[in-house]
Amino acid sequence: MMGDMTNAPLGTGVPATASTDHDHGLLGAVVVPDRVGVEGLEEKWAPVWDAEQLHAFDRTAERGSVFSIDTPPPTASGSLHIGHVFSYTHTDVVARFQRARGKDVFYPMGWDDNGLPTERRVQNYYGVRCDPTLAYEGDDFTPPHSGGATSVKAGDQVPVSRRTFVRLCEQLTAEDEKQFEALWRHLGLSVDWNHQYQTIGATARAVAQTAFLRNLDRGEAYQAEAPGLWDVTFQTAVAQAELEARDYPGHYHSIAFHAAGGEDVVIETTRPELLAACVALIAHPDDERYQHLFGTTVTTPVFGVEIPVLAHPSAEADKGSGIAMCCTFGDLTDVQWWRELNLPTRSIVQRDGRISRETPEWVTTEAGRATFAELAGKTTFSARTAVVEALRTSGELLGEPKATQRKANFFEKGDKPLEIVTSRQWYIRNGGREMPGRDLRGELLARGDELEFHPDFMRVRYSNWVGGLNGDWLVSRQRFFGVPIPVWYPVDEAGETRWETPLVPDEASLPIDPSSDVPAGYTADQRGVAGGFVGDPDIMDTWATSSLTPQIAGGWLHDTDLFERVFPMDVRPQGQDIIRTWLFSTVVRSHLEHGTLPWKHAAISGWILDPDRKKMSKSKGNVVTPMDLLVEHGSDAVRYWAASARLGTDAAFEVGQMKIGRRLAIKVLNASKFALTAAPEGAAVVLDPAAVTEAIDRALLADLADVVDAATAAFTDFDHARALETTETFFWTFCDDYLELVKDRAYGRGATQPDGTTAELTPAQIASARATLALALDVLLRLFAPFLPFATSEVWSWWRSGSVHSAPWPTTDALRAAAGDAPDAGLVRTAGAALSALRKVKSEAKVSQRTPILAVELLATEVAAGQVAAVESDLRAAGKVTSPLAITVGTPATPDGESLAVAVSQAELGEAPPKG
């Protein structure tokens, strides 16, 4: 539809923006349902969007016109919760805005379906557990349960082969993903469903394994036998980023070590069960109490092992007795001292969380070996009790244990404190340890400075995390459902595995599974025998795959054309709690592989808080599943609640806010119905700025132009909440003030005269109201479309072709043209205040608003007096005033002295019209 918007003749359908898109023209006739409502709009419009491929990415789009989103892949294990709806709505409103701004939006959806959450769900759902030593049961294996039990005790779970266990994981996640997709569609996410991926899919496995092998080739990945955090429940190593520090009940024990000459050295510890693993006593070098002991030795109580007394600056002189035992290993400080002081390794806690079943060689005294034999095979809890009793018997426990709360490290998904055990693991360099010839930590801190965080204060979480790293990224896991570490190891003729010389596959063969695939140059019958090979038994940490979501979704390796159009991506939306894991690890992988940031912006959502102001999470058991809310209140209402919260700000779960959103969506429908049906049936809708001639009409469009500018600026700055707030505030003024003021004029009715007749209106006055209503509605629908996609789609279909979601974002040219050079600022607000004052007279008199006002005197400020005079005709019609307004300039105020723009000083009411 072409033409000069400002000079279009009356009756010509012209879009309110400078769009010439023929797909968004006016329909031949307005078709508004007799009854309007929000019920059923999701079922009506979501299939239409899908059928029309409204959100499909244009594969021919040049990179400069693309806005690409690194969509978070939700964990496909169980159900989505209201926190997902909250944060994914934030992403969707941005996607819809960018699409309206003319960008080709790449908005894929992934499913994070590997890792511990899936394994735990499969164990409980099917009543099985993985035993990798078992042979494959065959395709016809039927698990003992199929969702009937909420949880199956570990002892009752049937052991199955790894292949069967993985098959069951894939089977259950596929079902979960269908439910997730259905919910996302009901919510109105404008995802391109043609672009989906799974983090356990073949493409993701190939990407993850290729990136790992390239890290290995460049010296960025390495394996080491070293102490690491270990979860005894899940039997797997845990990375620093997966830790949670929690309070854990314990006791301080005062224990006497023995120095030469009969001197006792007293330490305080909460972990006496590690006494047999003690390798040194450590104090601060400036602590005068212990300087005479530095360089000497003491013997441990009960076990009688001789150990050195050493100095280290990280020892805390004001904690306990100021001297501490260093055990291998009780905590991360022990690891630091062990490494920096070159201490021996004397581990006694095994991977199962129990004390070693064999008495260690360094315990040589008869009494010590007898005591250790009592501990062998016990849990650390039981061993603690036994050691304390032995100390009490020997007289080396000074006083009784004192109860305390100590901080302990937990795996974020675990419920027992972590142990530190020595094992062979794979690491990727992340700046946590020095890398020869390279300041990787400094490079990654610089990447954080380069990245645009929204809100900006989240940046410090990134820099603090990178600055505080004390080790490289542990990426291997001793689990089953995940991306396998893609290497094998030769077995020498003596039957020893040569861990230091891994065998790597060719990239073209990826993805591979070393547990079933065979390396080049070997045959399957050489697996596990002398002169043959073994596969690496571990899988990658789930973050090692998720850290590559831009590459997986963007087609790296398998779709170069797509990758060049979407990478680096524009935005990574995510939660604040995984900055240290997902965000940082993705920056690491992109920096190492591509030498660039993976995206330009990071949009960080806050948390959802329950009524007690606690974070909602599955682990806390206080989450709300969203589908019932979407059905009860409507998707637009729930989206409104979510979009009302700014990025980075925690928001309360408030059904009341959803009810406000539902009221808003209904009001959009009803106000639109009025705006489109004010003209006689069959009359053309006019979108002609030149038809706007009345002062209040021009003022409204001037205000709306300011709203467009403010909403556009807010969206551009990733402040969707401000865009919504600005639009909504204007909309309620439009409904409560402007619509009421111009309703009679839009219907062609003038004010009632003293003689009971109705004042004649000119065609131009009527046309001005109708054109303003249409222009305002056209713009408001586009402004609301990202937030209320279903209600706005419904209204758009009443009078426009195409979809509001493919219509261009409103600009202000037509609005400014219609408003003229100098509209009265605040005119709509003043007119609304005057109408409210007239209605207040009737409310206080307890009469119908249809009651005429025979005479009225208004007291107004000087500015307001001129504004009221400019809208007198509309004001009299809306207020049912039958005589000219008497306006006196003064200083109106409330009875409490609050200043007003306008107030009624005197009024005479007529008789109320008969009911009916």
Contacts of 449 (CB under 8 A, 6+ apart): 459, 463
Distance separating alpha carbons of residues 677 and 604, to the nearest angstrom: 43
Q: Yes or no: say if 533 and 491 are a contact pair by the CB < 8 Å rule.
A: yes
Kindly state the tokens that stand for 392.
Answer: 């009490």
Give the CA-trace dihedral at 164, 168, 169, 173, to 10 degrees. Answer: 160
CA atoms within 13 A on the CB side of 867: 25
Q: What is the 8-class DSSP label of residue 240?
A: G
Kindly state the tokens that stand for 116.
Answer: 């511990």
Query: Do the bridges between strand 402-411 and strand 243-259 make them parallel or antiparallel, or are there none, so unpaired?
Result: antiparallel
Give the CA-trace dihedral at 187, 190, 196, 200, to 10 degrees. Answer: -50
377 sits in the region (left: phi over 0; alpha: psi -120 to 50; else beta) called: left
Kindly state the tokens that stand for 532.
Answer: 């043959």
Q: How far is CA 139 from the centre of its chain?
A: 38
Give the DSSP letter string of 29-81. S----SS--STTHHHHHHHHHHHTTTT---TT--GGGEEEB-----B-SS---
Give CA separation, 130 vs 124, 480, 561, 603, 774, in Å: 12, 7, 40, 38, 64
Nearest to 807 by CA among 832, 782, 772, 836: 782
Determine whether the annotation assigns residue 618 to a binding site.
Answer: yes
Length of the chain: 916
Distance separating alpha carbons of residues 270 and 121, to the nearest angstrom: 35
Contacts of 169 (CB under 8 A, 6+ apart): 113, 114, 118, 119, 122, 200, 481
Nearest to 505 by CA among 489, 494, 491: 489
Give the CA-trace dihedral at 373, 376, 382, 385, to 10 degrees. Answer: 30
Distance separating alpha carbons of residues 895 and 840, to the nearest angstrom: 14
Q: What's the CA angle centered on 446, arms 468 and 333, to 5 degrees? A: 10
Distance separating alpha carbons of residues 874 and 871, to the nearest angstrom: 6
Q: What is the 8-class DSSP label of residue 482?
A: S
Give the DSSP letter string of 130-188. E-TTSPP--TT---S-SS--S---GGGSEEE-HHHHHHHHHHHHHHHHHHHHHHHHHHT
**3-class SS of residue 344:** coil
Kindly state the tokens that stand for 220.
Answer: 């960025």
Kindly state the tokens that stand for 256.
Answer: 């006497």
Q: Yes or no: say if 99 and 58 are a contact pair by the CB < 8 Å rule.
A: no
Distance separating alpha carbons of residues 343 and 280, to the nearest angstrom: 8
Distance separating alpha carbons of residues 751 and 757, to the nearest angstrom: 9
Nearest to 46 by CA among 796, 794, 882: 794
Contacts of 311 (CB under 8 A, 6+ apart): 282, 283, 284, 285, 290, 294
Query: Do the bridges between strand 651-652 and strand 608-609 make them parallel or antiparallel, or are there none, so unpaired?
Result: parallel
Binding-site residue set for ATP:
618
Binding-site residue set:
618
